[in-house]
Structure formats: structure tokens, C-alpha cells
Chain A
Amino acid sequence: MKRRVVITGVGAVTPLGIGARTLHERWAAGQCGIVDGVGACSDFDPSDFLSVKEARRLDRFSQLALVAAAEALEQAGWAAEPPYDPLRVGCVIATGIGGIHTIESQHDVLRERGPKMLSPLGIPQFMPNAAAAAVTMKYRLRGQSYGVVSACSSGAHAVGCALRMIQYGDADAAVAGGSEAALTVFGMGSFTSMQALSPTGISRPFDARRDGFIMGEGAGVLVLEEESAARRRGARILGEVAGYGSTSDAYHLTAPEPHGEPAARAIELALRDAGVEPEQLHYVNAHGTSTQLNDAAETAALKRALGEEQARRIPVSSTKSSIGHLLGAAGAVEAVATVETLRTRVIAPTLGYEVPDPELDLDFVPGEARPLIVTNGHPPTAISNSFAFGGHNVTLVLRGADAELLPDADAELLPDADVREEPGESRGEGGPAR
């Protein structure tokens, strides 16, 4: 039998602030972290969390990852050392680009002062595995660790790799996540040249007026543990990584395969991996970038994989409407947002979605947050999609913990407080969590 993998901690640093809970609460409240067309982590000051020595040896993308990891590990109840044999704990932290702040500043040094003045800290800061290395060193994780690189699917691939590592038996626990800090002149200029970014500076996934994505930065980290080991140590279980599926378009450098066929296969593979039928899904956390092509192909993929009827039934919303596109961090941050959605039983809306595109006819959760209704007696279950430049497709199936394990599921996030007063009914037979 396949080993089950549960989630015992989540952490995030996003344009909405520090914290996984902050991310979901503010998004559900309709707040947007995008300012002047950019999703920067303006609240993040490395000196609040890191010593001078730590901070100066880490590129911003690794700093963000360490802070998200600290939150996730604290929630999991891990102290300075893991509650397992350190050799049995893995770490996979993804990035799309790596330490581009360092690359750019060192390139300036090269041009202005010559190669002899390049910093010995350059390589260890900009290597794409630097964040994974930093997390292992800080928390003394000695199982296998590495970075994963697949552009905007990186963070989801990291969670998938960590899931398989535990399922296969190579590890009993793993810290998995993604991080990105590419809001530099070079990073933004390059995306601008591709005409990938929104010229109006608005992220409105699935809306007819969508015109490109908004670049963001941040990190998301999840602590994964083999279920029986987690239960033995009395860990508080937030949810489960129930399934993982991944395919490639093999179609175009940047454009998605327009019929969503390979993307649909990733969704199908993930559902099969989890043993979940479309009828059992309560929510889709979409990749939803706000580009014409992605949102159309993703809609097609959802219909193809779930069937038209189920695709229309299941609420679909995009975290990118609130924080922009966090590139290599996106998949991990959105997995964290999905865990919070399942934990709180509150589905945050696709912000800015006002003008439906006649071709995209799913329930994109316009306007306000709504309760996640558990109608079929199953634990709340969702998929989170990630699709990338290069044609990398990943779907994660995430399951929320049983309601009785969730004393703090929070109906206060909902705009309509009356929902709480309706006993059970409005929130389905799974019952309200409080």
C-alpha cells in the first residue's frame, strides 16, 4: 500500500504579507497585494528574521524561503532539529530563476571592477539550489535535498518530488516549497519583452479583459510527514498531499497547448494517483495567470479532465488575482493557499473577475469568498494546477483534515457572517468545522 503523506505545517511570504494565514485571510477578504502592477513583498525585511551573517550570504530568494520554512516548521512543532532521524528528512525547494539579484549585482562588479573582484559568495548565493541548501543547514536536515527548476511549475514539482520521496520510503518527512525573487530590472524587462506581462497592471484571471500576468515574488513551504509517523509523534495534521500528476506539452517554448490536452492528462494522473473522482472535488485552485492563452487552455483542460458537468460545478479561483504570479514559488504558495482553503472551508474569490469570457464558462468564484461546501461526506478535496513556460504541467491533489481535527476553521473569513448561524446545512454534511 502506498504510504500516505500528511501536511503538518505551512508557511508563506507573499505580497499580502508574512504568513500562510495572512495570505488566505487577506485574499478571502478581497485584498490585493499588487501595487503599481507589481506583486512585491514590501513587508519583508530580512533583518527581522535573519542575522547579518545569514542575510548577506543569501540571495533574496533564499531569504524568503528560509522565512517561509521557519513558519511552516514552527507550525509543525519542529524545533531546531527534526523529530526524526535527520538522515530520513528530505528537502526540496524550487525556484524558477534562482539568485538573479546576486547575478545582476555581481555582473555590475565584473564590468566595473573586473573578474578578480567578484565575490566568493556569488555562486553560493545565486545557485538555484541555494534555498534548499540554506533550509537544510538551518534545520539540520540530512536526507536528500535539492532544488527543482521548471519555471512556473517549479514549486508544485517540489511538492510532488517530496511526496514521492516519502511514499517511496527514501524519507519519513520532507520540507518542500518554492521561492522566487526576480523583481529586478533584468527579470521584469525580460518578461516585458516577451509581452507576457499585463500592460494595464491588472491581474484578472479568466476575465474577458485579461491581458497578461503580474510578476510577483515570495515563497511557500510545506512540511510533509508520513502519516503514521506524524500520528505517532502527535502532530497536528492540517491536510494531505493525496496525489500528484505531471506531464509535458512538448509543444511550444512559451505557449500552452491550446486544447489543454497534456494539461488535462496531468489533472487525470493526479486524480488517479489520489484515487479521487471529479465528483469528489470541492475546489480547484487554478494556475489562472490572467494571460489569454493560459486561462483558455486551463479551462479546456479542466473540462477535458473533469468532464463538462463537473468542471462547471466545482468552484475555480486563482490566487494570482490577489498576489500576481510568483513564478517558481507559485505552485508551492498556491498549495499553501489551497491547504488554508481546505482547513478553513473558505473559498477565496478570483479578484477582478467581472466580465465573463464566453469561451470560459466555469464558476470562477466572482466577487466574494464563499463557504466550501462538503456535500458528499468526503473530506474537503481540491486540486492545484501549475503550468509553465517550457510546457511543464503539474497537478496536486490536496485533502483537508477531518473537521474534528480542525478546531480553528474560521467562518469569520466569510463576508456573510450569517452563514455561521445556519446549523450544518449551508456547509454540507461534512459539517461546519467549529
Chain B
Amino acid sequence: MPAVTTEQVESRVVEALTSFGADPEQISRESTFEELDIDSLDLVELAQIVEDEYGVVLKGEDMKELQTVGDAVDLIVSRAEA
């Protein structure tokens, strides 16, 4: 698997969240999914994108722990490196 940088993942996550309808101006590492009106269905879609593009499998229990955009990015990067 090619190495994935945090920047790459971050930009892909922001792109995905924007396509789900989140306001790109509001998205930062610290913003919570709740603030962005991103719900469990959106997170399942995000998991599909992540698996498709980085081969990282995120299960339901992984997603439940995620509060912020930064949480998601860090989890994806750490799994991709493992």
C-alpha cells in the first residue's frame, strides 16, 4: 500500500463531507460531526470511500467513537500505516 499522508486524507475527508452537504467554510480538524450536521448515514458513506480509496476498513464501533473531523483523519491515517 502506498504511504498516505495526513494532508491527503484530510483533503479527501473534507471533500467527502462537502459533498454530503457540510459547509466547507465550517470544516476544520476541531469541528464535530454534530456541528456539521453529519449523521450516521453520512459516516457509513465516508467509511465506504475510505475503504475504497485507502483499503482501510472502518467498522460501526470505530465510527461510533469519532467525534471530530480530526478524530476521523487520525484513525484513517493510523490504520493505513498499520
Q: Is the CB of B20 within 8 A of A116?
A: no
Q: Which chain A residues numbered 45 to 59 have a C-beta less than 8 Å away from chain B? A: 51-54, 56-57
Q: Is the CB of B21 within 8 A of A120?
A: no
Q: Is the CB of B41 within 8 A of A120?
A: yes
List chain B residues, Cβ under 8 A from A57.
Answer: 41
Q: Is the CB of A120 within 8 A of B37?
A: no
Q: A51-B21, A56-B21 are in contact. Are A117 and B45 (CB under 8 A)?
A: no
Q: A52-B21, A56-B21 are in contact. Are A116 and B48 (CB under 8 A)?
A: yes
A52 vs B36: C-alpha distance when bound (angstroms): 13
Q: Is the CB of A121 within 8 A of B48?
A: no
A119 vs B22: C-alpha distance when bound (angstroms): 18
Size band of the A side of the interface? 10 to 19
List chain B residues, Cβ under 8 A from A51.
Answer: 21
Chain A minimum-CB-distance residue to B44: A120
Q: Is the CB of B52 within 8 A of A53?
A: no
Q: Is the CB of A53 within 8 A of B20?
A: yes
Chain B minimum-CB-distance residue to A51: B21
Provide the A41-81 mask, 1 if CB < 8 A to any CB of B, else 0.
00000000001111011000000000000000000000000
Set B20, B37, B44, B52: member contacting A56, Cβ < 8 A? B20
Provide the A113-126 mask, 1 if CB < 8 A to any CB of B, else 0.
00011011100100
List chain B residues, Cβ under 8 A from A119.
Answer: 45, 48
Q: How far is the CB of A185 from chain B (nearest CB, A)?
A: 25
Q: Is the CB of B20 within 8 A of A117?
A: no
Chain A minimum-CB-distance residue to B48: A117
Q: Which chain B residues numbered 7 to 25 have a C-beta less than 8 Å away from chain A? A: 19-22
Q: Which chain B residues numbered 29 to 53 have a C-beta less than 8 Å away from chain A? A: 37, 41, 44-45, 48, 51-52
Set A54, A116, A124: member contacting B41, Cβ < 8 A? A124
A57 vs B21: C-alpha distance when bound (angstroms): 10
Which positions in B face A, CB cutoff 8 Å? 19-22, 37, 41, 44-45, 48, 51-52
